[in-house]
Amino acid sequence: MKKVVIMLFILLLAPSLLIGCGAKATASPTANPDLIRTAANQTADARLTEIFASTPSATPVTPSPTFDATQTMAAQTASAQLTQAASLTPTPPETATPTLNPGGNSGDLAIFVADVTIPDGTVIAPGASFTKTWKLQNGGTTTWTTSYSLAFASGEQMGGDASVALKQSVAPGAQIDVSVNLVAPNNPGSYQGYWKMKNATGQFFDYSVYVLITVGNPVTTPVRTSETPAVTPTPTSTGEPGNPITSLTMLVDQGSYEGTCPHTFTFTAMLSLNQSATLTYQLKGEAVTPGFEFDLPGPQTRSFDAGTYSIPSELTFTSSGSGSIWLHVTSPVDISSNHASFELSCTP
């Protein structure tokens, strides 16, 4: 019994001994809870401080542009092209001031101003004499002397002289009327002749003027009469300062006609004035065929400005005959045109 009690005591005491031995083998000094919390807090604070130090500031910072080699090269190329285009773009030249003498070193230049007589396409009878007058301006830098001339250059010469010398000197900028005496060809059609100014050394100017006429039916039996010399202008009581008429020429559409009658001829007086004037004028006529008669209109009075005018008149004839018609100005000066001859052969 005593052994049983001792065994029970040992059994009851063994776990306590085992527990005590186990605790001593693994036991560590007891830690102070406050110290543990303090260390943990310090560790946490240090970590937060590290995190905040590495976190970027909230203040916005302009980001640096990302370098793209392709885009940068394209932009540089475009810039270079624009620079090159700008350098190649020509600067608009200043408008050149026209010079008075555009051609040649001689300084000779003639500028056409107007047809004083015989406008382009004027109908002239075959074989009829006429005078072509141009108004020219000295557009060069040299003075035209009487050694200068208007010379035939090309086309139809129409019986004109090779050259016509100037009758007076012409300073730069001044104007002059230059005339040539011509004869219409005998064959119908259009004829054109070119004339140029020529200087004292025989050199032609650069530019030409021309005469352009239309010739009517060919002459079957030419009837020519000499031109009646113009009467020397005489000032009248109208107070006109001299003669305002610079040219007066009579033309006829047909020098000769053969066919049924009655027939109408158109006579055209070409009149040029250098100033305004009131003229009194009348058609005059002369019969070459004995007994040939015709009626003419009475005097007319008309006011003109400076310039060139055509005064047409239609005359109807009922029988065969020939003669001439001219225009006679009686006021403010007394002057007559050339005689325009005609011939009419009436057939049944």
**Structural domain of residue 119, as residue ranges?**
101-217
Task: With 0.75 as the threshold, say if the pTM is over it.
Answer: no
From 198, 217, 236, the end of a domain falls on: 217
Same domain, 200 and 245: no
The answer to whether position 201 is within a domain reads yes
Q: Give the number of other Cβ atoms within 10 Å of residue 70's Cβ.
A: 7
Mark whether 302 and 344 lie in a shared domain: yes
Does the residue 16 lie in any domain?
A: no
Picking from 217, 236, 265, the residue at the C-terminal end of a domain is 217
Residue 267 · residue 283 · CB < 8 Å: yes
pLDDT band at 107 (very low <50, low <70, confident <90, very high): confident
What share of residues in the chain are helix, strand, coil (percent, to 5)?
Answer: 20, 40, 45
The enclosing domain of 144 has a CATH number of 2.60.40.10
Which tokens is 202 given? 């025989």
Mean pLDDT, the chain, whole residue set? 73
Residue 10 lies in a domain: no
pLDDT of residue 95: 39
175 assigned to some structural domain: yes
Strand ranges, E, within 216-276:
245-252, 256-259, 263-273
Asked whether residue 143 falls in the same domain as residue 266, the answer is no
Q: Does some domain include residue 178? A: yes
Kindly state whether residue 253 falls inside one of the protein's structural domains. Answer: yes
Residues 298 and 212 in one domain: no
Do 193 and 298 sit in the same domain of this protein?
Answer: no
> Is residue 6, in this structure, part of any structural domain at all?
no
For residues 263 and 284, membership in a common domain is answered with yes
Cα separation of the two ends of the chain: 202
Query: Domain count of the chain?
Result: 2
pLDDT digits (tens, 9 = 90+) for 194-229: 999 999 999 999 888 999 998 885 333 333 434 434
Quickly state the pLDDT bin for 236 (edges 50, 70, 90). very low
Q: Which residue among 170, 196, 217 closes a domain?
A: 217
What is the reported pLDDT for 141?
93
pLDDT confidence of residue 340: 87
At 145-190, the pLDDT tens digits run 999 999 999 999 999 999 999 999 999 999 999 999 999 999 888 8
Q: Do residues 142 and 265 both lie within one domain?
A: no
Asked whether residue 224 falls in the same domain as residue 346, the answer is: yes
